[in-house]
Amino acid sequence: MSAADILDLGKIPSKVNPELQSERNCSSLTPYISEITAIVDGGRNNTEKRRQIERILFKDPLFRDCAIDSVYKPRDEMYARGVERSVRLFALKEEYNWTDEEFGIAVNVINHQYSLGLHNVMFIPALERLSTEQQKAKWLHLARNYQIIGTYAQTELGHGTNLQGLETIATYDATTEEFILNTPTVTSIKWWPGALGKSVNYAIILATLIIDGKKHGMHPFLTPLRSTKDHKPLPGVKVGDIGPKLTFNIVDNGYLILNNVRIPRENMLMKNAQVSREGHFTSRGPSKANYSAMILVRVTIVNWCSVILSNSSTITVRYSAVRRQSTLDSSSEKESKILDYQTQQYKVFPSLATAYALFFVSKTLKNRYLKTYAEIIKGNFKNLPEIHCQSAGMKAMSGEMTAELLEISRQACGGHGYLAASALGDAVASAKALVTVEGENTVLYLQVARYLMKRFAAAVSGERLSGSTEYLCMDPMKYTCPINSPEDCMNVSLLCQVYRFRAYRMISKAARMLQRDIEGGKKQHKAMNDNLVQLVRAARAHLLYCMVVDYKEGMNQLQISVPVSKALNNLLVFFTVFNIVKNAGDFLETESIGLPQMEWLKETEVKMLAEIRPDAVSLVDAFDIHDNTHGSVLGCYDGNVYERMLKSTQNEPLNQCDVHYSFHQHLKPFLQRNNTSKL
């Protein structure tokens, strides 16, 4: 490149960076990339469908410039742009008659950069799952046709995950056949619902039902908040935005204060519980059935985690294949690619493997949810506790993994990863929300732990278990470590036995500690509190076992070519071994493995880095993520990292003039304060 070309900041080479092209040329997986892409998309037809949606969206600057908008626009403009993008997206859905699945693809394509996501993610699903048939007939078509825009208002200023502690109340007035909604305390104010601040005109509000002074638990109430004529808040409604967040300020998360807001009796969503005109309360099924929409969102979050890690892995692997720094061989004049350094691989490949792991896990979890939901519709609530446990736990674990791995990915890109134009900083900040959104992770782990304690007690009493806890019926005395050679460390079926025994031992230990404390005279709540750390450890052990099993079984269901099978199996083995080594203390303490086996596993972990390395670029290429989707100058398909970094500076407002006004206002007077010398 000439000096003149370097000065032309807008010029990007038309060819792929030779560094990245050489990776593709040397990978034996390159001819089979489309096969993996079809797996990720759910079939070749879905791949073409996604690409068609990308073509539709990215011919419009409104969607093409998402990454630039999130960096350079002030909050109010960013929000307005997000609303404009939402309206355009809804219009395209109608214009092209997109299904809900296709609309979800479109949302992923623009990396969720729109303001009114809660309408489709929670409001409509809640109407579908919590309404009677008559209520669906009245409200669903209005929501689906965007004649009303809604959100889901559950979290309060003083309460989040503890739903039984929510303080918003809905008092039934039989004389008028209305519910009167109030947020009677500061802590009862609804806080955090997306699009509540300035956008929606309806909300499904979770409130405690009160009839004749008696509480009847939490129930959903469809409540109008703003006038459909001028969008002003209705009488008794005070609503606004909660202010800037770490990121995702395109969304107007809001607060809501209700003062004697009256809604018709028919606005209580009554699929699972009913209130008659006279004020008689009846319920159908367990109270957790009212949380079915929330369960769906937690299932969805696991998939989001997979998508987020796919984006970040694409950025970090491609950048690492282009970036050269220092040299591995002192006799070589050419610097080495940082992807060739084992330490860089150890930063980057866990994220890549976990992206694939969560893809298979989320797919299996979604199928379980759909099966359970179909049973619930028929009045069978038997598997509701199981799916509640699985969705809560997998949301917590996948969110925790994603937040941790994203920060490591950012660090793996060195100083350039700190640039907003890398898109990694915003991804890291966004991922931090995964730890608290739709249930704070520690609380969710404890919900899993309580379920495990119940199932373990049932197993001890002789009950035959099914589902994810079936293994709790095992006889621990019959266990022997199945890893008898270094080669066994590559056998995921054997490693699953190790995970299973570790989970069993940690769950049984938590149960014994609880039993010991209760039998020693502690009250149950005191015994629980004194063992919360062990309970969380037990829950995490169970969930990691389930994750590895789902990953393995998802892989086993594929009918794929030998090269693809080998490459994906390398990731499976690495993910499985990596998480044993990462949790080495637990595996050794529970005697799931011994020290010799741990040494073999550490050697295997390092060995797998070398196995994955030749195909790393092909494995991220297989995600087939559009450059406009990940929005990073470091991770584009052409690999022209430095040219794109330079071009990105054109978007910086500070660079729109040679001399900034602050020079004349502040710096120049200071420099000339004495005016005694001339330079």
Question: Which residue's entry shows tokens 């990940």?
Answer: 630
Burial string for 337-372 (b: 16+ CB within 10 Å, else e) reads: bbbeeeebbebbbbbbbbbbbbbbbbbbbbebbeeb
Cα 510 to Cα 537: distance, rounded to the nearest angstrom: 9
Give the CA distances from residue 670 to residues 658, 660, 675, in Å, rounded to whole numbers and listed in that order. Answer: 19, 15, 10
End-to-end CA distance of the chain, in Å? 37
> Strand 202-211 vs strand 214-224: parallel, antiparallel, or unpaired?
antiparallel
**Collapsing DSSP states into helix, strand and coil, what is residue 129?**
helix
620-623: Cβ within 8 A, 24+ apart: 620/310, 620/313, 620/314, 620/317, 620/318, 620/352, 621/24, 621/30, 621/33, 621/314, 622/33, 622/36, 622/37, 622/40, 623/37, 623/40, 623/310, 623/311, 623/313, 623/314, 623/355
**Cα gap 392→385, rounded to integer Å:** 11
Q: What contacts 138, CB < 8 A, 6 or more positions away?
A: 266
Cβ proximity of 459 and 401 under 8 Å = no
| Structure-token pair, residue 176 | 């008028």
Regarding beta strands 281-283 and 273-275, do their DSSP bridges make them parallel or antiparallel, or are they unpaired? antiparallel
Sign of CA dihedral 169, 122, 131, 440: negative
Cα–Cα distances (Å) from 51 to 54, 77, 169, 620, in that order, read 5, 29, 47, 17
Per the structure block, which two tokens stand in for 643?
Answer: 């040219």
Q: Are 318 and 634 in contact (CB under 8 A)?
A: yes
User: Rounded to the nearest 10 degrees, how much is the dihedral formed by the CA atoms of 74, 76, 77, 82?
Assistant: 120
Whole-angstrom distance, CA of residue 114 vs CA of residue 107: 8
Q: Is 23 a catalytic residue?
A: no
**Cα-based angle 631, 635, 640 (whole degrees, multiple of 5):** 110
Interstrand relation of 261-264 and 178-182 (parallel, antiparallel or unpaired): antiparallel
CA–CA distance, 213 with 115 (Å, rounded to integer)? 39
What letter would DSSP give residue 171? Answer: E
Catalytic residue among 438, 605, 611, 643: 438
Closest to 442 in 3D by CA, of 529, 552, 567, 312: 529
Phi, psi of 240 (to 5 degrees): -170, 180
Q: Which amino acid is at 326?
A: S
Phi-psi region of 146 (alpha: psi -120 to 50; beta: other; left: phi over 0): left
Q: Rounded CA gap, 568 and 91, in Å? A: 39
- For residue 261, give both structure tokens: 């807001």
599-619: b or e for each residue (b if 16 or more CB lie within 10 Å)? ebbeebbeebbebbbebbbbb
What number of CA atoms fall less than 13 Å from residue 320's CA on the CB side?
A: 30
C-alpha 254/C-alpha 194 separation (Å) is: 6
- For 283, phi then psi, to 5°, come to -130, 160
Return the active site residues.
438
